[in-house]
Structure 1
Amino acid sequence: MSNKPLVLLGKNIPEGKRTVLDIEVAKLHTRTTVKVPVIIERSKVEGPVILLLAGVHGDEINGVSIIREIINQKLNVPKKGTIICIPVFNIFGYLIQTREFPDGRDLNRMFPGSLNGSLASQFAYQFTKEIAPFVDYVIDYHTGGGERDNVSQIRLESSEKETLELANIFNPPFVVHSGYIAKSLRESLKKMGKTVLLFEGGKSKNLDNTVINQGIRGTKNVLIHLGFIDGEISLTEKTIFINKSKWLRSSYSGMFKLLAKNGSHVKKKELLGVIQDPFGEFKKRIYAPFDCYIFCINKTPIVNKGEALFHVSVNN
């Protein structure tokens, strides 16, 4: 008995074969067409469809490397169901290493998109209409923006039992409760009834081998758990669940000397860093206001008053 037809971007996807399609975004000023490769591996055995997606923000390249290694290790070849890989979603931003689309929009605030909107909105619309309806699960890979460095983590709405179960199978160092953001990809997919894991790890314009390896291992765990591939699930981390969090912000402007270790648990009044001026006259110490885990650090060397420095757990 054959599988149900699977049609993506107007193309029928054959069983038991590798298919590469292109999302045609737009043309450059030189008239060169910009295309986003979509790599599809479909088994001959009926099963669910999972999408591995990275590069929504063009300068967040850890996720790109994670999916590249998934493909390189042939972990995207399923024994049942279909695995779709889009290693670089925002191809414009990736080419010039910027977060945004050429129209200055954050693609992750443009979903579900519009047929006649901005370039980013039109691209979001094409994805929402031609790919999203046909997937059951999505892993969306991100990093911290700018100089913000995230410890590997899954962000989710903690009331969703299936998502929480998959997060525990992924087995990152941290699972962080995070509500839905309006017009984000995650919110749009949720409204369509899809199960989404949002992975965060490392910072933009940086390849972090620890984060990449954690992302590969976690993705493999999920693929095994859902029956896409064979193998044994590897649970190597003691996952910390953070239900409530806050940013510790700078009370001063100056040079930021970081002392705390990302991913660590610190005690109340423990020294986290120092803000100082370049003239040797000003020095302010930053202390932990309570016992907490640090799961993201701003590694910028110069900070302004009010700038977010440490993302920490509350009541941990």
Structure 2
Amino acid sequence: MAFINSDNILTLLGQEILPGQSATINFNLAKLYTTSSVEIPVIIERSKKPGPVVLITSGIHGDEINGVEIVRQIIAKKINKPKIGTIICIPVLNIFGFLDMKRAFPDGRDLNRVFPGNPRGSLASRFAYQFVKKILPIANYCLDFHTGGASRFNAAQIRISPQNIEAAQFAKIFNAPFTLHSKTIPKSYRATCSRLGIPILLYEGGKSKVSDKEIARIGVNGAIYFLNHLKMMRSTIEIPEIKRPSVVVEATRWMRAKYSGLMHVKVTCGQFIEKGQHIATITDPYGKFRYPVNAPHAGYIINVNEASLVYQGDAIFNISTDKATRYGKTESEEEV
């Protein structure tokens, strides 16, 4: 069990880390067919001064590179060296998927659908159980970084549960371009944190298997804003200027392709579009067919399917349906 005693000594995965110390502990996950151990580096930075413990994770889905890049930059830029408290970074939770560039574990399970895990379950479930029992309890706050699946590109966003006032306040501090109201998925990491009473911010941005510089920049900046709010940022770390507050999106609706063919997207993710606006064209390979895709309603494009080929019925755009607002005031399109 992870804990900090009265002398401010952290015990994690059987090792003691003193105030002011740095440590990298290998979390033993499983063994390969060859009996070689599979281990996940857990990177710990502690201040001499007591304070909150922030757990920063990415790579729950092995093919989501943007999250891994964000946590890598947090470590490389020494953002994870706190003025007070402790910051724990785990850049790649699903090391199996990361090596194979696959979303799931080798057992075919989605790690983010098996929490809090089972000590006698599947490989993914066993790992989730060990993580929840041995690492998660020490955290006072969690930041978890994700990416859109398959060819779907997500606008940079924080996802929070509706009516969660504390999460809304933290999302405002993180200041991603969008704050999306999203119900907590059962057996997800976010659901387990909520059950344990640990505040968590889930960041989504970009698409799988692709590293996007802007998505990473927004994620790193958000982490800085959040850690600075907790008074954990050292004076040597520059706090980026906040240019625009986050747009709050309470509801979205998927738009599906009416025809199969080659899709040519005409707009960018995050853009505000008007009802009837031409946002894509679907064509056949032979130059005989051309179908314009027009927006069914006004809203922000939260997700774009960037696949070059689509089938009839494929989800192609996710568009906000409510009157999006920035925190504290109604937002006009021109300010975006």
TM-score w.r.t. the length of structure 2 is: 0.91
Aligned residues of 2:120 and 2:126 also touching (Cα < 8 A): yes
The answer as to whether partners of 2:42 and 2:89 remain within 8 angstroms in 1 is yes
- Partner of residue 168 from structure 1, selected from 172, 180, 187: 172
The aligned amino acid for 1:236 is: K
- Contact 1:269–1:288 (8 Å) recurs in 2: yes
Q: Larger deviation: 266-275 or 222-231? A: 222-231
Give CA deviations for 1:207-247 in whole Å, capped at 9, x if unaligned: 10011111111100100001111354631233211001111
Could you tell me which amino acid in structure 2 is paired with residue 92 of structure 1? F
- Map 1:33-182 to 2 at 5 A: 33-182=37-186
- Preserved contact between residue 275 and residue 298 of structure 2 (Cα < 8 Å): yes
Q: Does 1:242 align with 2:242?
A: no
| Alignment partner, residue 278 of structure 1 | 285
Matching of residue 201 in structure 1 with residue 205 in structure 2: yes
Task: Specify the SS of the correspondent of 2:268.
Answer: coil
SS at match of 2:60: coil
RMSD: 1.4
2:58–2:67: 8 Å Cα contact kept in structure 1? yes
Return the offset for 1:276.
1.5
CA shift, 1:38, in A, is: 0.2
Task: Give the secondary structure class of the aligned counterpart of 1:115.
Answer: coil
Measured in 2, the distance between the counterparts of 1:281 and 1:122 equals 53
Residues 152 and 211 in structure 1, CA contact (< 8 A), matched pair in contact too:
yes
Moved more, 291-300 or 281-290: 281-290
Corresponding position: 1:297 with 2:311: no
Whole-Å Cα distance in 1 between the matches of residues 109 and 284 of structure 2?
35
Given residue 237 of structure 1, which amino acid in structure 2 is its aligned partner?
Answer: R
Q: In the alignment, does 2:17 pair up with 1:10? A: no
TM-score by length of 1: 0.97
After the TM superposition, which parts of structure 1 deviate over 4 Å for at least 4 consecutive aligned residues?
none
The letter of the residue matching 1:159 is Q
TM superposition shift of 1:166: 1.3
Q: Deviations over 1:153-185 (max 9, x none)?
A: 101113112211111111111110000001011
SS of corresponding position for 1:211: helix
CA contact (8 A) 1:3 1:46 kept: no
CA distance in 2, matches of 1:75, 1:45: 16
- Residue pair 1:22, 1:35 contacting (<8 A) in 2 also: yes
Tell me how many residue pairs correspond in the alignment: 316
Q: Return the alpha-carbon distance in structure 1 between the equivalents of residues 118 and 12 of structure 2.
A: 19
Pair 3,234 (structure 1): closer, same or farther in 2 beyond 3 Å: farther
1:221–1:234 Cα contact (<8 Å) kept: no
Q: What secondary structure, in the 3-state scheme, does the structure 1 residue paired with 2:61 have?
A: coil
Q: What is the alpha-carbon distance in structure 2 between the residues aligned to residue 98 and residue 33 of structure 1?
A: 20
Counterpart Cα distance in 2 of 1:98 and 1:312: 27
Q: Deviations over 1:40-63 (max 9, x none)?
A: 111121111101100000010111
Structure 2 unaligned spans of 5+: 324-336
Secondary structure of the equivalent of 2:130?
Answer: helix
Q: Where does structure 1 lack aligned partners over 5 or more consecutive residues? A: none
Which residue of the other structure, out of 185, 189, 192, is the alignment partner of 2:193? 189
